[in-house]
Amino acid sequence: MPGADHEYRLYGELAGWWPLISPPGEYTQEATYLAAVLSSTAAIPVHDVLDLGSGGGHVAMHLKDRFALTLADISGDMLDVSRKLNPQCAHVRGDMRTMRLGQQFDAVLTHDAIDYVTSRDDLAMVIATAFAHCRPGGIAVFVPDYVKDDFRALTGSGGGGEDGSGRKATFRERTWDPDPADDWVQAEYEFILREADGTVEVVKETHRLGVFARETWRQLLVAAGFTVAPGFANRSMPGKPPANLIIGHRGLRPSPSSAQANS
Ligand SMILES: C[S@@+](CC[C@H](N)C(=O)[O-])C[C@H]1O[C@@H](n2cnc3c(N)ncnc32)[C@H](O)[C@@H]1O
């Protein structure tokens, strides 16, 4: 995972292209599903939600009418993009492995930013962050793009957004696993960025993305103090279910093992 001083260009100097590379409208169906999950899964009513790795706020923009959102990201540039889209939401800069706001929420959501966690130790740290910010009775919802159990190499393309000035962006990607023995895969992106005056810049960037076995997720969630209910994927909700959905439930009372370590 790149540190705060070593972000991928996509989330640093190129952040202003994010709404064109990954247009907010593409998140509508999945966000509808996640809103239903957030509303119906916890033991307490869910009003306030912490979004860890909120990026440009494209998921958040579909949730903000239903929940009071706090949007956290390691990239100041991505937070600036999100602030324009979601001025009514609280924004905070922080590393999801280590940040502590001294505040608890009814739910903690970590959407595709969890892909940037590429070691078990870091995944355990993010889960500990989620636990520390999750109110008793609340839930932590993780939406990784990939899990090791069913990862397959892929190629694809996307983007196509255009802004009022005429700027356009598209991308191609190839994601593959150089070494199935470890917990990450490699995504090779080619971003085609067309300025309003027709100038085109092609940016190639390789990202390292985490892929953890479902059993690893379960073990780390339980070690942090969450419980994990099996079979959630079978529940029917409005919208489109994400490829992977992992939910930790924080009990209404602290468990003896988790109370000291995580609160
Ligand atoms: C794919 S983007 C998230 C897009 C977001 N779902 C949206 O709706 O716009 C991934 C984000 O993860 C953030 N990120 C990566 N590592 C992080 C970390 N350790 N802590 C917080 N954010 C992180 C990046 O800065 C980037 O904004």
- How far, in Å, from the CA of 222 to the mean position of ligand 1? 24
User: Which residue has its alpha carbon closest to ligand 1 atom 16?
Assistant: 116
- Ligand 1: which atom is nearest the Cα of residue 54? 5
> 9-147+212-262 is classed in which CATH architecture?
3-Layer(aba) Sandwich (3.40)
Phi, psi torsion values for 39, nearest 5 degrees: -75, -25
Mean pLDDT of all residues in 118-128: 98
Q: Is 146 in the pocket of ligand 1 (CB under 6 A)?
A: no
Whether the pLDDT of residue 133 is over 90: the answer is yes
Q: Are 57 and 89 in contact (CB under 8 A)?
A: yes
CATH number of this structure's domain 148-210: 2.20.130
- Write out the two tokens for 210: 């985490």
Domain ranges of the chain: 9-147+212-262, 148-210
- How far, in Å, from the CA of 90 to the mean position of ligand 1? 16
pLDDT in tens, 150-204: 999 999 999 998 898 999 999 999 999 999 999 999 999 999 999 999 999 999 9
Q: Is 248 in the pocket of ligand 1 (CB under 6 A)?
A: no
Cα distances (angstroms) measured from residue 256 to each of 46, 71, 217, 225, 253? 25, 31, 21, 9, 9
Supply the pTM of this predicted model.
0.94
| pLDDT for residue 232 | 63
| pLDDT for residue 5 | 41
| pLDDT for residue 253 | 81
Q: Are 54 and 76 in contact (CB under 8 A)?
A: no
Distance (Å, rounded) from C-alpha 126 to C-alpha 92? 16
Task: Please name the residue ranges forming H helices in the chain.
Answer: 18-21, 28-41, 60-63, 76-85, 120-132, 214-224, 256-262
Q: Is 242 in the pocket of ligand 1 (CB under 6 A)?
A: no
How many helical (H) and strand (E) elements, i.e. helices and strands, does the chain have?
Answer: 7, 11
Distance (Å, rounded) from C-alpha 148 to C-alpha 150? 6
The type of residue at 59 is V
3-state DSSP assignment of residue 17: helix
CB burial of 220-235 (b: ≥16 within 10 Å; e: otherwise) equals bbbbbbbebeeeeeee
Residue 160 CB neighbour total at 10 angstroms: 13
- How far, in Å, from the CA of 113 to the mean position of ligand 1? 4
Domains 9-147+212-262 and 148-210 share a fold: no
- How far, in Å, from the CA of 257 to the mean position of ligand 1? 30
